[in-house]
Amino acid sequence: MLKYFTLLRPRQWIKNLLLFFPPFFGGNIFSLQPELIFFPFLAFCAAASGGYIINDIKDIDADRNHKEKQFRSIAHGDISLAAAVFFALLLVLVAFISAVFVSHWFFFYLTVYFLNSVAYSFFLKHFVILDIFIISFGFLIRVLAGGEAFCVHVSDWLFMTVFLVSLFLAAGKRMGELVSMEGDAYRHRQSLARYTPAFLEGTLWFSAAAALVTYGLYTIEVEGGLFYTVPLAAFGLLRYIYIAMEGRGDPTEALLGDGSIMAVGIIWGLMIGFIVYR
């Protein structure tokens, strides 16, 4: 059973916490009914895991040439392709059934997210620049779906901030892959052969600066002292650039594996909670 659980990539479910950004920043996270929380989160976790399995099936040969991904269940041969396909279809079914219990628009957002994920796995990840936009869109759609699920308006500044931070994280992911795999990067992902460290570094600095500005403007719009969290956001962005250029740019691994980013993230969340809910 453990091999099937690892196939789900549960560590990646932390990305689905973006669903709760709109109600958290909106000040009504504690007024949500348990069932309102359960079905949206389940839907996106199941859809994400189904998408990851489809991606693993599609990339089985490339993963076998990757120094870390070669140990994934499908690439390593621990799970048959037939079992993986069945498991993926089951997860997708669970995702869409769960979405029905939320709303029609939430179902729409989930559908867009899943199609975006599948399209990325099959061909969009091979297009330079477009690939990082597709990755960032996956983050952004979660926030929009969360706003719909919990009936909270996503402000323009929050939308822009999430988009730019998502673009920043996607560029960091590519930078991490390019640095860690060195000369073998092109064997794992075609687009990596066309990226240069200088371009990705420039994208990181550009998106980080723009995200910090939009986040600062968002905190001023909200008022209540939220702008005091801007220095923490600046530190987190700089720290991520630092570790991405070391070859550790996966967003989930950066959040869960880097003590500095995790500590700043926790303090940032606690500060926002105190300011918004005091």
pLDDT, one tens digit per residue, over 12-50 is 999 999 999 999 988 888 888 877 889 999 999 999 999
**pLDDT band for position 63 (50/70/90)?**
low
Which residue did the predictor score with more confidence, 70 or 178? Answer: 178
Report the C-alpha gap between 44 and 155 in whole angstroms: 22
116 and 106 within one domain: yes
111, 242: one domain? no
* Residue 167 scores a pLDDT above 80: yes
Between residues 209 and 2, which one has the greater pLDDT?
209
Give the pTM: 0.90
Question: Residue 99: what pLDDT?
Answer: 96
Specify whether 142 is located in the same domain as 271. no
pLDDT for the residue numbered 55: 85
Residue after which a domain boundary falls, among 103, 128, 154: 154
Q: Comparing 160 with 65, which gets the higher pLDDT? A: 160
Structure tokens at 174: 């590519």
- Label residue 250 by pLDDT band (50, 70, 90): confident
What is the structure's pLDDT at 76? 60
Question: For residue range 76-91, what is the model confidence (pLDDT) as tens digits?
Answer: 667 778 888 898 999 9
Residue of 259, 197, 216, 208 whose CA lies nearest to 237: 208
Q: What is the separation, in whole angstroms, between the first and last Cα of the chain?
A: 44
Average pLDDT over residues 59-70: 65
Amino acid (1-letter code) at residue 155: S
Q: At CA 86, angle to CA 146 and CA 141, rounded to 5? A: 15
Q: Which residues contact 183 (CB under 8 A, 6 or more apart)?
A: none
Task: Give the residue from 128, 154, 180 where a domain finishes.
Answer: 154
Question: Domain check: are 97 and 138 in the same one?
Answer: yes
Cα–Cα distance, 138 to 133 (Å, whole number):
9
**What tokens appear for 264 in the block?**
């700043």
User: 102-150 pLDDT, tens per residue?
Assistant: 999 999 999 999 999 999 988 888 889 999 999 999 999 999 999 999 9
Which of 154, 173, 191 marks a domain boundary? Answer: 154
For 9, which DSSP code? -
Confidence check: pLDDT of 6 > 60: yes
The label of the residue with tokens 């092109």 reads 186
Clarify whether residues 210 and 137 are in a common domain: no
Confidence at residue 71, expressed as pLDDT on a 0 to 100 scale: 59
8 Å CB contact between 47 and 114: yes
Residue 202: pLDDT band (50, 70, 90) is: very high
> What is the residue range of 253's domain?
155-278
Place of tokens 């699920």: 149
Distance CA 168, CA 162 (A): 10
The distance from CA 239 to its chain's CA centroid, rounded to whole angstroms, is: 18
- Residue 107 lies inside a defined structural domain of this protein: yes
Mark whether 19 and 143 lie in a shared domain. yes
